């Protein structure tokens, strides 16, 4: 007998979140509409159809942008701390709905239930951060070179922010953007991944409640649905001054060019090829836990997943053996069952990419330390469950240079100084996350120095994944250069203005230029 959505507890979650069997996919807050084709959301957990969402049509899109542009005029007038209060209320609602939303994230995307809850917690955390930020959107004051002049800078809201998100963090990435953009006075239009439309519908329902309770106009939070074509309407739209796009490097290159063509702003959060360096002084127990979590967590589908382990020859065999022992302990299966460590890949295409990566390693003659394969039999009917694999490889192989969004970990050996390991670590096109495992202060500091890791994230004695929201998140090189979340990442959602005020009775010019009439 097949397991129903109700047996999984998913039907109850959908009911609580207001997600139906067939959903309108376009929303300006109060209004929901949509006549477009239906996107089916099928769970990678067991291939069940969870629900359908109407794609946004061009006509619907036009309506959304108009409403959003109008609501911006109202929203930007509201004092920032009051906007923060709205975000605080959203955070409160997320606390209330953490369980059903986390469960739906887990079931629609396939990540473990713990990670599903963790994702909603991350939304709550960024709301808290944004509330505090709403009283700290400050610029600098400078001393003017002219007498009786005052100079300072201030930040103003930008306008409509377009958010394009990836399937693997179906809700958190949206909230990293929106929570900040909202307190900054912007309104948002969200195009989630076409692979995870239902969690997006759920988030929009929750935000709608907050906006209605506060009698705010529609358009502050908007949702559109569809594939790249719907995304392209936004990237080409001059009414959307900022596009924040999270996804593959392939997508980022297209989006960056479209936005640059109209001289818009883009914030790009793209793929990574993250490595942990393991030096002779590493704590091996910590290394193994960090590496295994980094490589198999979310079934290797985090942008910060550990893809390469660069291990010194002195400890190479020890690390290799410890890892293969650890992999034997992994249980793979239904991510809603908390006993399982690893859930499914998102779909069959992802499974094919995974198989192709392993095939390429074998073609190169690479040794499979832990062999991969697709799991079959009871509980694995979706065909998306794969065995996390470890391969001995070389950094220059094309497949190692690429991000394969699956649990394949490449073991790379280094000899000599830590500089050699850093060169391997930096020897890829991507620059998202990196880590070093060492108890040697000199090695750690070299890794963090200007000549060290070239990534946006560089950790010591922590794996590559699992960032906190307080720091700015993002990466260099082909990862796109964008920063989201904490620190001063909010500045990208605002426009900076420099103001000079003359409170004297003369009009001196800068640089001492004389101009008398």
Give the residue with the Cβ less far from ligand NAD, 84 or 170: 170
Distance CA 405, CA 389 (A): 13
Are 454 and 431 contacting, i.e. CB atoms less than 8 angstroms apart?
yes
Query: Applying CB under 6 A, which of residues 27, 41, 235, 360 lies at the interface with ligand NAD?
Result: 235
Q: Note the helical H segments in 140-241.
A: 172-183, 197-213, 228-235
Considering the rule CB under 6 A, would residue 185 count as an interface residue with ligand NAD? Answer: no
Q: DSSP label at 298?
A: G
Give CA–CA dist 491/512, Å, rounded. Answer: 33
- Give me the 99-138 binding string for ligand NAD, x by CB under 6 A, dash otherwise: ----------------------------------------
The answer to whether residues 424 and 430 touch, using CB atoms and an 8 Å cutoff, is: no
Point out the residues that are catalytic: 269, 303
C-alpha span between 102 and 94 (Å, rounded)? 10
368: which strand partners?
Answer: 391
Region binding ligand NAD by CB under 6 A among candidate stretches 148-156, 250-258, 291-299, 306-314:
250-258
Sign of the four-CA dihedral 107, 113, 119, 123: positive
Region binding ligand NAD by CB under 6 A among candidate stretches 29-37, 226-234, 279-287, 439-447: 226-234
Q: Which residue, 256 or 444, is less far from ligand NAD as judged by CB?
A: 256
Query: Among residue numbers 377 through 436, which ones bind ligand NAD (CB under 6 A)?
Result: 403, 405, 432
Distance CA 292, CA 407 (A): 10
d(CA 187, CA 182): 6
Q: Are 118 and 457 in contact (CB under 8 A)?
A: no
Closest distance to ligand NAD from the beta carbon of 412 (Å): 20
State in angstroms the smallest separation of the CB of 473 from ligand NAD: 6
The residue from 25, 264, 271, 333 that contacts ligand NAD (CB under 6 A) is 271
Contact 225, 52 (CB under 8 A): no
Q: Which of 108, 194, 237, 454 binds ligand NAD (CB under 6 A)?
A: 194
Q: Are 443 and 418 in contact (CB under 8 A)?
A: yes
Instruction: Decide: 478 and 429 in contact? Cβ < 8 Å.
Output: yes
Of 251, 256, 267, 492, the residue at the interface with ligand NAD (CB under 6 A) is 251
| Stretch of residues binding ligand NAD (CB under 6 A), selected from 11-19, 35-43, 245-253, 333-341 | 245-253
Q: Pick the binder of ligand NAD from 32, 117, 152, 228 (CB under 6 A).
A: 228
Residue the block writes with tokens 């376009």: 26
When binding is defined by CB under 6 A, the residue of 70, 232, 283, 392 that contacts ligand NAD is 232
**Choices 186-194, 209-217, 361-369, 486-494 (CB under 6 A): range interacting with ligand NAD:** 186-194
| Count of other CB atoms within 10 angstroms of residue 451 | 12
Closest distance between ligand NAD and the C-beta of residue 75, in Å? 25
Binding site for ligand NAD (CB under 6 A): 164-169, 173, 191, 193-194, 227-228, 231-232, 235, 246-248, 251, 254-255, 269-272, 303, 403, 405, 432, 475, 479
């Amino acid at each position: 007998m097949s397991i129903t959505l109700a047996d999984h507890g998913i039907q109850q979650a959908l009911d609580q979140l207001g997600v139906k069997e067939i959903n309108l996919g376009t929303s300006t807050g109060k209004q929901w509409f949509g006549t477009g084709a239906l996107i089916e959301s099928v769970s990678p957990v067991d291939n069940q159809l969870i629900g359908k969402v109407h794609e946004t049509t061009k006509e619907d899109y036009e309506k959304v942008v108009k409403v959003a542009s109008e609501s911006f005029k109202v929203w930007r007038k509201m004092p920032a701390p009051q906007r923060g209060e709205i975000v605080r209320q959203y955070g409160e609602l997320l606390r209330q709905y953490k369980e059903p939303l986390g469960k739906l994230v887990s079931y629609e995307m396939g990540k473990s239930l713990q990670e599903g809850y963790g994702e909603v917690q991350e939304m709550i955390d960024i709301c808290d951060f944004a509330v505090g930020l709403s009283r700290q959107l400050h610029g600098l004051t400078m001393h003017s070179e002219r007498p009786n002049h005052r100079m300072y800078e201030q930040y103003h809201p930008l306008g409509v922010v377009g958010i394009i998100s990836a399937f693997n963090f179906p809700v958190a990435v949206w909230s990293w953007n929106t929570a900040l953009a909202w307190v900054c006075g912007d309104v948002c239009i969200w195009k989630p991944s076409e692979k995870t439309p239902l969690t997006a519908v759920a988030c929009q329902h929750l935000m709608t409640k907050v906006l209605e309770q506060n009698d705010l106009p529609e358009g502050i939070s908007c949702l559109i649905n569809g594939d790249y074509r719907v995304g392209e309407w936004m990237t080409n739209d001059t009414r959307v001054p900022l596009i924040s796009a999270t996804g593959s490097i392939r997508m980022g290159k297209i989006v960056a060019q479209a936005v640059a063509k109209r001289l818009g702003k883009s914030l790009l959060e793209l793929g990574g090829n993250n490595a942990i360096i393991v030096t002779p002084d590493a704590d091996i127990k910590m290394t193994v836990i960090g590496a295994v979590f980094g490589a198999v967590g979310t079934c290797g589908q985090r942008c910060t997943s550990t893809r390469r382990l660069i291990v010194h020859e002195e400890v190479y065999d020890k690390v290799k053996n410890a890892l293969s022992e650890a992999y034997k302990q992994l249980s793979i299966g239904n991510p809603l069952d908390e006993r399982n460590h690893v859930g499914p890949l998102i779909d069959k295409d992802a499974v094919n990419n995974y198989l192709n990566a392993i095939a390429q390693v074998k073609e190169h003659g690479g040794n499979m330390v832990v062999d991969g394969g697709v799991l079959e039999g009871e509980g694995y009917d979706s065909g998306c469950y794969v065995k996390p694999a470890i391969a001995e490889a070389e950094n220059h192989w094309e497949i190692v240079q690429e991000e394969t969004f699956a649990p394949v970990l490449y073991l790379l050996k280094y000899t000599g100084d830590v500089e050699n390991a850093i060169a391997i670590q930096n020897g890829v096109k991507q620059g998202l996350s990196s880590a070093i495992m060492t108890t040697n202060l000199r090695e750690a500091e070299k890794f963090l120095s200007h000549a060290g890791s070239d990534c946006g994230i560089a950790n010591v004695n922590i794996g590559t994944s699992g960032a906190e929201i307080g720091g700015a998140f993002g990466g260099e090189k082909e990862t796109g250069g964008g920063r989201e979340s904490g620190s001063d990442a909010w500045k990208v959602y605002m426009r900076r203005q420099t103001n000079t005020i003359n409170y004297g009775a003369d009009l001196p010019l800068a640089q001492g230029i004389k101009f008398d009439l």
